[in-house]
Amino acid sequence: MQIRKGYTYRLQTHRRTGGKFVRFAGACRFVWNKMLAINTHRYVSGVPRLSYPEACELVAWWKQSDEYGWLREVHSQVLQQGLKDLERAYTHLCAGRTAPPCYRKKFLADSFRYPQGFKRDGRTVFLPKIGWVEFWHSRDLEGLVKNVTISRQGRHWFVAFQVEMDIADPVHPATAHVGIDRGIATFAAFSDGVLHPPLHAYCRAEKKKARMQRRLAGMVQYSCNWKKPQRRIATLDLRIAHCRHDFLHKLSTETSNNHAVIVSEDLQVKHMSRSAQGTVD
């Protein structure tokens, strides 16, 4: 069978390379938000939204203008990939699979993707209009690389290689089956009697984060002294997210390796926790 897999590595960036990453991610975010605003206005006016070819043509006109001429500094395929993501979001919305696309914010969705034109040589990767960038080669890369995504997490930039490979049809060694009941007080209750308590990663760092936010509230916004605790808060939030991902991946890997059939209920835990807070609904 043919599968697609991702390999993520942390990039070794400096001031010049990091500045280019910020400009590329900002251009993709601008094109996404601008096109989303145009399509939203057309929807309210009763006009069909712009298709992907029409959006690409509009971006080409923006590059020739004086107001948006700075978009010429960004690789064209990077902007086209952002438009494809927006088109895919509208497709999922029409199919009833997701909610409407929302506007992207700085530092929360800083990423861009190269479908082609990139090169890889050992511990370095070549990105068009950026150049060669080194990364920490923490594990071997297998398969045929299809695209490259650059994203920011906290203070660091990461490169993700999506590869395509052929593997043998998997045969599960286990024959056991289990049912999973998710909840609030107990994260997951298995049908064989095993209970998995929640991680409470945020609860352990809640007091520290509140203390840092109180110190941040008395400073001038976007000043040099304001940016220092802001980076510490972002690092703390990233550490909490990593703890949650580590907990979920370890539990899912252990469960899938020991059980051939897993049955889980279709439950929205977010709605359960929201009703516990006492909403009108």
Residue partners of 237: CB distance under 8 A and separation at least 6: 154, 209
SS3 category, 205: helix
pLDDT at position 266 is: 75
Q: Is the pLDDT of residue 276 over 60?
A: no
pLDDT at position 155 is: 84
Q: Which sign, positive or negative, has the C-alpha torsion 236, 240, 243, 245?
A: negative
Q: Is the pLDDT of residue 148 over 90?
A: yes
Note the pTM of the prediction, 2 decimals.
0.83
C-alpha to C-alpha distance for 140 and 138, rounded to whole angstroms: 7
C-alpha to C-alpha distance for 63 and 76, rounded to whole angstroms: 10
- Label residue 103 by pLDDT band (50, 70, 90): very high
Q: Is the pLDDT of residue 175 over 90?
A: no
The arithmetic mean of pLDDT across residues 139-148, rounded, is 92
pLDDT tens figures, 55-101:
999 999 999 999 999 999 999 999 999 999 999 999 999 988 889 99
Q: In this prediction, what percent of the chain has a pLDDT beyond 70?
A: 95
pLDDT tens figures, 109-129:
899 999 999 999 989 999 999
pLDDT tens figures, 189-211:
999 888 999 888 888 888 999 99
C-alpha to C-alpha distance for 197 and 193, rounded to whole angstroms: 13
Of 10-14, 182-186, 244-248, 260-264, where does mean pLDDT reach its minimum? 182-186
Q: Is the pLDDT of residue 130 over 60?
A: yes
11, 157 Cβ separation under 8 angstroms: yes
Residue partners of 222: CB distance under 8 A and separation at least 6: none
- Label residue 270 by pLDDT band (50, 70, 90): low
